[in-house]
Amino acid sequence: MIRQHSLAKRLAHFRHEDFGGSSALALSLIMGAFILGGLSLDLAYAYKTRNELQIAADAAAHAALYMRQSETATDAKAKAVEVAKGTLPPNSYGNVLEAGDITFGLWDFTTQTFAADPNGTEAVLVSTKRFKSKSNELRTFMLNFVGMDSFDVQSGSVFVTHYPTCLNQGFAAHDSVDMQSNNIFYSGFCVHSNNLVSMKQNNDFEPGVIVSMPDTRSVSAGGGNDGLKEALESHAYKLRILDHMDDIWAELQTGGASVPSYITNTAVIPVTADKIIGTNTTSLIVSFGEADLLQGRIYLVDCDTASAITIDNNVLIENVVILTTCNLDFKNGSAVENSLLMTQSTSAASVSATSGFTLGRNDNCAAGGGAQVLTYGGFRVPAKFLIFGGQVIAKGDIQFAAQAGAQGASFVAGGKIDGTSNSTFLFCQTGMEQNLQKPYFRLAG
């Protein structure tokens, strides 16, 4: 009986003991921490995957829009898919991008919205995915214990074309831009160098002017450059148009995209001549010697044994395209309106002029009348060079002397741009529509 009583007391005592409760609590806490840790791991993996999909989407969108400028939508999409596969290999990620996930269209910069257009070349929407429906879903580590064995993860990118202001209107040089004194730059005009901008003294910059280079601290400036400090911006641009000179040359001979709208017959007329004579300011017909220079046509001019084609005094070249491998030499009072002249000469002065050369029509920025001169070499003109809605593209240097005047001008140089003094440079909102440009690409927004 004594033993039974002792056992009963021990059992009763054990029933009221609580020193083992901490073990159960600890086990519960460990299990909770394990579950939360697993959840965090799954979520971190999902965020990592989404970032990877974003990188692939950005790369693919850029490739698609770049290729779309010269290729069909089908070929551009194929290139984008190839880029995505290179970024996220299918053996590890599955097919994150297919042609059906790529849409070309238009981007509204005001409303920040994308509108699909199968023929669009200005914007592209790309969506990269790891979806169960694509058999490449993101498998979970811990959430499968609570019935969630995978995530659907996706990301997207919209790339758009754009044209930097400095490459649309103003000066843009791969080397330096060097201006002397007493020049005036009006609002909207841009001066850009991928190296160094140098302004001597007493130049004036209206509010709204941009003066840019990769490092604004390297600007070289003398005294009295009012507004220069406020105009400074840091930018670097690849001058893409210079890499496409061969393409432009070919397009002009084959009726391609670079042919201006005033050309009515794209069949090229071959001519051998060393001078363009006559004048459009009287009843005389401009001609290559005996051959009339017909408007609306494209000419391929061989200067034979001469080193240059001379454009005679007071000749107005209008509504034509002239292509040559020879130098172009514009004499006093000559002018070019609604025309494009291009030479493959690599001479340092492959395009030159005497005083009073005018590029473009003086029409207060009206539509039409602009002109373009392109050269594989350099462009050199003396004082009183006038440019109205005009464009000069040179693989070499662009040089002009004092008293130049511009109302709508685009100078792009693979070398330097060198100007002197007492010149004025105004911005045109319109009248530059025939200028040659190559688009740049960036994320929308």
The total number of structural domains in the chain stands at 2
Residue 343 to residues 155, 273, 354, 434, 445, Cα–Cα distance (Å): 47, 14, 18, 18, 39
pLDDT on residue 431: 85
Closest CA to 173 of 188, 199, 194: 194
Tokens 């029933």 correspond to what residue? Answer: 15
Residues 150, 170: one domain? no
Residues 127, 183: one domain? no
Last residue of a domain, one of 99, 132, 162: 162
Q: What share of the chain is helix, strand, coil (3-state, %, to 5)?
A: 25, 30, 40
Q: Could you list the residue range(s) of the whole structural domain that residue 34 is in?
A: 27-162
For 301, the token pair is 């001019």
Q: Return averaged pLDDT per consecutive 10 residues of the chain, 445 residues in all.
A: 55 56 53 57 86 96 95 96 96 95 95 95 96 90 72 94 88 96 96 96 96 94 94 94 96 95 96 83 70 92 87 92 96 94 96 93 94 98 94 98 94 96 93 90 90
How are beta strands 232-234 and 335-337 bridged, if at all? unpaired
Residues 76, 179: one domain? no
Residue 34 maps to a domain: yes
Residues 293, 146: one domain? no
DSSP structural state of residue 223: T
Q: Within its chain, how far is the Cα of 245 from the centroid? A: 16
pLDDT on residue 249: 98
For 291, the token pair is 């051959």
Residue 1 maps to a domain: no
What are phi and psi for residue 333, nearest 5 degrees?
80, 0
Residues 269, 359: one domain? yes
